[in-house]
Amino acid sequence: MTDEPRETTERPQPEPTPQGQELAAETPQKEQPEATAAAAPAESAETPAATAEEQPSPTPEERIAQLEAQLADLAAQLAQARQEARENWDKFVRERADLENFRKRREREIADRVLQQKKALLNKLLEVMDNLDRALAYQDSLDRQGLQQTLRLVAWQMNELIRSEGLTPVPTVGEQFNPYIHEAVEAVEDSEKPEGIVVEEVRKGYKLSDETLRPARVKVTVAASNKEREQQGEA
């Protein structure tokens, strides 16, 4: 009996599953960020050097040119500022001269207005003076009644003149004493009248509109003394 050789059969190796392939494929992907992170510092470290190499420091001639450009710019700004200052000063001088001329013109106008008012008032006064001069010239030929009539006419004309200028006499006799328009020159004891009543006018007073031009000088009543009161009581 011959021994026949046995054929040995090799079992086939199982093929890797897709999950195994995926794991094998994922392994290098996990290692890739580490490699990128390791390479990043090297690149960032090389960047300044590369930038320094790309931007070389300016030469002395270039630096001088930059300074000259800056100096020219500052000189232009200074010239413009001086020009503006000169224009502002000229404007100030012109406006000041205009203001001074306006002030002088207003002063002349006010002075002219006052002069015109004085002329008008003096012309009215001259008319009164003319009538008074006529009365004095014919006083020898006029009788007493005629002279009195002439004086009354002059007084009336003067009163009309001052009334036309806004001047009014201050009321006195019979009025209550008012220190704003009256000036007491004498105290008169009068038992028949209440205290503080004006009984006599010594000098006329006048008001210009609502202001007192000159207070009137008056005599004012006061209360009777105690002695007179006792005498009146005994009687």
Question: Where does the chain show beta strands of DSSP type E?
Answer: 167-169, 182-189, 198-203, 206-208, 211-214, 216-222
In the chain, residues under CATH classification 2.30.22.10 are 167-234
Q: Please, what CATH class does the domain formed by 62-165 belong to?
A: alpha beta
Residue 175 is classified by DSSP as: S
In the chain, residues under CATH classification 3.90.20 are 62-165
DSSP 3-state assignment of 9?
A: coil
Local confidence pLDDT in tens for the 235 residues of the chain:
444 444 444 454 545 444 444 444 444 444 444 444 444 444 444 455 445 456 678 888 888 888 889 999 999 999 999 999 999 999 999 999 999 999 999 999 999 999 998 898 888 888 888 888 888 887 777 777 887 888 888 888 888 888 888 888 999 998 999 999 999 999 988 878 888 889 999 999 999 888 898 999 999 998 766 445 545 555 5
For the domain bounded by 167-234, which CATH number is listed?
Answer: 2.30.22.10
pTM of the model: 0.49
Residue 102 is classified by DSSP as: H
Burial class of 223 by CB neighbour count within 10 A (0 to 12, 13 to 18, 19+): middle
